[in-house]
Chains A and B, each alone.
Chain A
Amino acid sequence: MEIPYTVSTRPDTGLWNAKIGIWLFLASEVMLFGALFSAYIFLRIDAAPGTWPHGLLNVPVGTMNTAILIISSVTVVLAWAALKMRRYRAYWWYMLATITCGLIFLTVKLAYEWPQKFEHFGAYIKPDALAKYEQYLGNERRLEKGLEPRIEITGHLHSQNAKEYEVALDPVNAHPDDPAMDRPHFIPLPVTEKIATIEKADVQRATMFLPTHSAYFASYFTITGLHGLHVLGGVLVFIYMWLPVSKKLYQRNPEHLANRVEVSGLFWHFVDLVWIFVFPLFYLL
């Protein structure tokens, strides 16, 4: 049975059906991400002073991934325009570029950004033990300057026993009184060789940078994870449309393939649009 109105428009709506379908789907997606973003805002504005992390993500890498998604949004719309002009070869190359961009984005996220977090360690110090670790926290100076206190010591977990953690410190804890550490660096500084010994009795909570670390990382992994699944979904659809099976559809009814590319492109632009908000919220602010 032929599905109606895949190419021609319905007289009552003035649209072909898939277009209404994708917009209804995107409307539900807006509510899904809207709920997550509103949860993020709520968690953030309600966080106690000093507890919301800053500068833990790699800004140059995030900027590169943002640029890659933007470029892929351009290439997918160019792929669609190429189909509209009946230039299948150009369409094929633009689609390949889009798929490549999507795969680079996912690889950077899953093979570089996330694993880097999984091997980073943070120990929240109990309020009554903060003074004991002043050499790593620099809170006297921060108090004088009206800055939020530091309550966490971070770095790479060197070793641990029943009583203590030994942590190779991040620069921010190795040189806590350096004014250069007051603001996050554009290019993240590597972990130092300075080792701090932290008694477990003084630690409120210690964990790697996992969703259990903080509301920040819980939101980060949830939202970027869900976004990554959307990127994966988009890439799979594009691969299908790039394979020879779609050329058969092109030869049979090129406008049908153009419409398919348009609706999947709409989904892809939405994925890009979500990232436009994710990037500053998590990486920069």
Chain B
Amino acid sequence: MNNPPDISQDSKEYEEYAHGIQKHVRGYLMVGALLLTFTVITVALSYVHFGTDKANIAIAMLVATIKAGAVAAVFMHLAAERRLIYRILIFTGFFVLGLFWLILLAWYDYPVFH
């Protein structure tokens, strides 16, 4: 989003600028409504048994990931951000996945209980 034309006192220019932001605002409201709907879906799905607990966990995490993706992409503006931010996040993603990968290794470390 461009910086506002504070400098310019031209009302037409301001109107155009404000109209651009209003479009973003509509997007924020839609994503907000989507997140609330998905929250209800998450709760409803938790009362449906999908055969195994693992299936239920996987489905709930999938819905949570979609919600988190919407927050990151729209509210946090990651859908259109500078390259440097993406670089920071690629490193973060790499290390956090490493963290979860360690659990997987530990999981296979126990031959008896699972």
Contacts and interface: CB of A to CB of B under 8 A. Distances in A.
Whether chains A and B associate is yes
Interface of A: 13-15, 19-20, 23-24, 27, 30-31, 34-35, 38, 41-42, 45-46, 48, 59, 63, 66-67, 70-71, 73-74, 77-78, 81, 84-86, 183, 186, 254-255, 265-266, 269-270, 272-273, 276-277, 279-281, 284-285
B24 to A, nearest CB: 6
Contact of B75 (A19, A24, A73): A73
A86 B9 CA distance: 13
B43 A276 contact: no
| Cβ-closest 9 pairs across A and B | A74-B32, A284-B46, A27-B92, A34-B96, A280-B60, A269-B75, A70-B35, A276-B67, A85-B18
Interface of B: 1, 3-4, 6, 17-18, 21, 24-25, 28-29, 31-32, 35-36, 39-40, 42-43, 46-47, 49, 53, 56-57, 60-61, 63-64, 67-68, 71-72, 75-76, 82-85, 88-89, 91-92, 95-96, 99-100, 102-103, 106-107, 110, 113-114
A186 B106 CA distance: 34
Contact of A266 (B76, B88, B107): B76
A85 B4 CA distance: 7
Nearest to A26: B92
A183 B40 CA distance: 19
Given A31-B99, A70-B36, A280 B110 contact: no
Contacts of B4: 84-86, 254-255
Contacts of A281: 60
B68 A183 contact: no
B77 to A, nearest CB: 8
B92 A30 contact: yes
A2 B109 CA distance: 56
